[in-house]
Amino acid sequence: MSGENIGNPLELLKDKMDGENYKKLCAIRDIRVHKFIAEAAELCRPKDIFICSDTPDEIAYIKHMAIASGEESAALLTPGHTFHFDGIYDQARDREVTKFLVPKGDRLSPAIKQIDRDEGLMEIFSLLKDSMVDRTMIVRFLTLGPQNSIFTIPCMECTDSWYVAHAVSLLYRKGYETFLKLTPDMEFFKTLHSCGKVDERKISVEHEKKRIYIDYVTNTVYSVNTQYAGNSIGFKKHALRLAIRKAHREGWLAEHFMIMGVHGPGGRKTYVAGAFPSGCGKTSTAMLPGETILADDIAYLRNINGVCRAVNPEAGIFGILRDINPRDQPLLYQVLVSPNEIIFTNVLVKDARPWWIGMGCNLPDEGINFSGRWWRGKRGPDGKEIPPASDNARYIISLKALSNCDPELDNPLGVEIGAIIYGGRDYRAYVPIQQGYSWEHGVICYGAALETETTFAITEVGKYEINVMANQDFISISLGQYIKNYLEFGKKLRKQPLIFGANYFLRDLKTGEFLNSPLDKHVWIKWIELRVHGDVGAIKTPTGLIPKYEDLAELFKQVLNKKYTVEDYRRQFTIRVPENLSKIRRVREFWSTQVTDTPNEVFEILDEQAERLIKARNLYGDYIPPDKFEKE
């Protein structure tokens, strides 16, 4: 798709679409748009092209075609609900075949999967060649971020999947009007996707030829032989990778953040952002009852007049269903069983309803799922037993379908961020909640040191994984430069958000029991809100500022109607010096061996924390209860 053989792209496209669609395309004046569509059509050879201009009739037609084509089924009892299946080997983002196309003379961090650009383009074009014969190519125009905003990034996707075209109606804001006003200096992102060869269930079958290649030279994502939305919708994590590079050039941040509105005293609302690796509590935090949700996955942050403001580039949720049940996530569960426009993917379907793992009830013993007709004990081609639903079964829904959707979702100026949380799965070291001493301390000791431990043992045999800012899979510049950008961004703010470290998974070192209830996180969030406004004090420890007992006791009573004892407090907020020193050693080793351009500030701040821990140990021993430390 070099464009070398494309003369007048509109002339080439005239014969590939009817007059109405041609007129809609001609209304967009930018030749870059015409050229991309023409090149995609020349390569993939669709029988026709549908240009979506975002009218209600067209949006409804796309949903109708997703069902009529067999990519989705509406055979569910609840109005508005449809379901879609991906192939048995297409159940999640595929790290191994997701690569950056790197031009000669350029290089990315060794931790980032990459391929020579010329070689990668040759391969992906060979896979896309003639992939849309006898199919319609659907062209969607969208925006990342609110329209008419400093945050807005226009984007477009050419796909032969009606399911993908339907999904983006729920996940993103309409963008045709934005493309009508496109100027030559405006950067936009592009995606070309094809399902490739499909079977009678309209499922991609050539999984061994699945490829997702990201060309940062042209801001283009190529995706083929896959339908799973995380691979086929170019504006999920693939566009996050492109946005991180754009943010690096322009001085802002593109992050793997949730954003929630937390209600405080006197009717105020404080916006809190948070980064948590998978399985560490991000969605359950964003959906706390009584608060509002503005973003569940991605956020763009900018310095506007010295204030950190943020938007959700998306307008919907591509969420994990596992463990959503009436007890643990009542708000979300109620939405998912009520009439709404929802696409369920890779669930079990039985009795005209969707079923998923961890939904709080017994699942049927047979039905249909991604493997076809399913029964308990059915085994896949690899000999392993097939679960009733995928562990990564998903739902797609508009954020505005949620009763707790924040009213500022589409504010072109975004919302002011009062606090940022970095939360991992740390069974042994960090306390449940603590505040950084500064922007730099919080960014480095909580964000750059974000760690997920996969197993628990009393002695140090756990498996640890550093996941910088819970964003590491998507960081498309060097990690050292990424941290430098973070530090510089904070230094230029007149009003810095407070930085917090959260750990919902602290265990007792002797018994292994969790010291946090899943509900406790609401108390930690309320304490954060009070800290942002200076309403409560804190206690100075070597690793950060922790809550005072009396403040937590009051919050547990107010928020959870629960008695919080001094013993609870001591067990949760005792500073564990040996475990914290071990953590610093692991983090230091990562930044000294896995990253070649780490800023010295990272090591300086980690060393300062180690010195504070050693000094405290010399005074009080290895395990120091919170009452040994002075109040702020």
Question: Residue 456 pLDDT > 50, yes or no?
Answer: no
pTM, whole model, 2 decimals? 0.94
The CA-based dihedral angle spanning residues 553, 555, 558, 561, taken in that order and rounded to the nearest 10 degrees: -50
CA-nearest of 240, 271, 279, 272 to 256 is: 240
Between 324 and 107, whose confidence is greater?
324
Task: Compute the average pLDDT of residues 409-424.
Answer: 97
Who contacts 531 (Cβ-Cβ below 8 Å, separation ≥6)? 419, 435, 498, 500, 538, 545
pLDDT at 462: 53
Beta-ladder partners of 394: 320, 345
Q: Confidence class of residue 327 from pLDDT cuts 50, 70 and 90? A: confident
Residues taking part in catalysis:
280
The rounded Cα 428 to chain-centroid distance in angstroms is: 26
Task: Compute the average pLDDT of residues 496-520.
Answer: 94
Q: Decide the pairing of beta strands 539-541 and 498-503.
A: unpaired
Q: Confidence class of residue 1 from pLDDT cuts 50, 70 and 90? A: low
* Of the listed ranges 330-334, 523-527, 533-537, 566-570, the one predicted with least confidence: 330-334
Burial 332-361 (b: 16+ CB within 10 A, else e): bbebbeeebbbbbbbbbbbeebbbbbbbee
Beta-ladder partners of 395: 319, 344
Task: Compute the average pLDDT of residues 138-144.
Answer: 98
Between 283 and 489, whose confidence is greater?
489
CA-nearest of 256, 270, 196, 216 to 99 is: 216
For Cα atoms 608, 610, 616, give the angle at the middle one, nearest 5 degrees: 105
Task: Compute the average pLDDT of residues 573-591.
Answer: 97
CB atoms under 10 Å from CB of 72, counted, come to 23
For Cα atoms 237, 241, 242, give the angle at the middle one, nearest 5 degrees: 120
pLDDT at 5: 60
Tokens representing residue 21 in the block:
């669609």
Quick: pLDDT tens for 540-563.
999 999 999 999 999 999 999 999
CA-nearest of 221, 223, 222 to 90 is: 223
pLDDT at 452: 86
Quick: pLDDT tens for 185-207.
999 999 999 999 999 999 999 99
Between 50 and 282, whose confidence is greater?
50
- DSSP track, 173-190: EE-HHHHHT--TT---EE
Ramachandran sector of residue 119 (left: φ over 0; alpha: ψ -120 to 50; beta: rest):
alpha
Q: Confidence class of residue 284 from pLDDT cuts 50, 70 and 90? A: confident
| Residue 469 · residue 450 · CB < 8 Å | yes
d(CA 471, CA 193): 24
CA-nearest of 70, 52, 49 to 61 is: 52
Q: Confidence class of residue 611 from pLDDT cuts 50, 70 and 90? A: very high
d(CA 9, CA 375): 52
d(CA 556, CA 565): 10
Task: Compute the average pLDDT of residues 565-572.
Answer: 97
Quick: pLDDT tens for 291-312.
999 999 999 999 999 999 999 9
Residue with tokens 């100027």: 183
d(CA 386, CA 365): 12
Tokens representing residue 344 in the block:
């369920």
Quick: pLDDT tens for 226-260.
999 999 998 988 899 999 999 999 999 999 999 99
Strands (E), 402-482: 415-424, 433-435, 451-453, 464-466
Tokens representing residue 516 in the block:
């946090």
For Cα atoms 437, 440, 443, give the angle at the middle one, nearest 5 degrees: 95
Average pLDDT over the chain reads 94
Beta-ladder partners of 546: 539
The sign of the CA dihedral 343, 346, 347, 349 is positive
Question: Of all helices (H) and strands (E), which one includes residue 271?
Answer: strand 269-275
d(CA 215, CA 120): 9
DSSP category for residue 597:
S
Question: Residue 461 pLDDT > 60, yes or no?
Answer: no
Domains of the chain: 9-71+92-250 (3.40.449.10), 255-313+411-628 (3.90.228.20), 318-401 (2.170.8.10)
d(CA 390, CA 378): 14
d(CA 358, CA 376): 16
CA-nearest of 386, 342, 339, 381 to 366 is: 386
d(CA 14, CA 32): 16
| Residue 320 · residue 328 · CB < 8 Å | no
Packing angle, helices 19-26 and 31-44, rounded to 10: 140
DSSP category for residue 400:
G
Packing angle, helices 162-171 and 56-68, rounded to 10: 140
- DSSP track, 86-115: --TT-SS--GGGEEEEE-TT----TTS-EE
Packing angle, helices 237-250 and 479-491, rounded to 10: 60
Provide, for the chain, the percentages of residues in helix, strand and coil under a 3-state DSSP scheme, each rounded to the nearest 5: 35, 25, 40
Cβ burial, residue 406 (10 Å; 0-12/13-18/19+): buried
The rounded Cα 450 to chain-centroid distance in angstroms is: 16
Cβ burial, residue 385 (10 Å; 0-12/13-18/19+): exposed
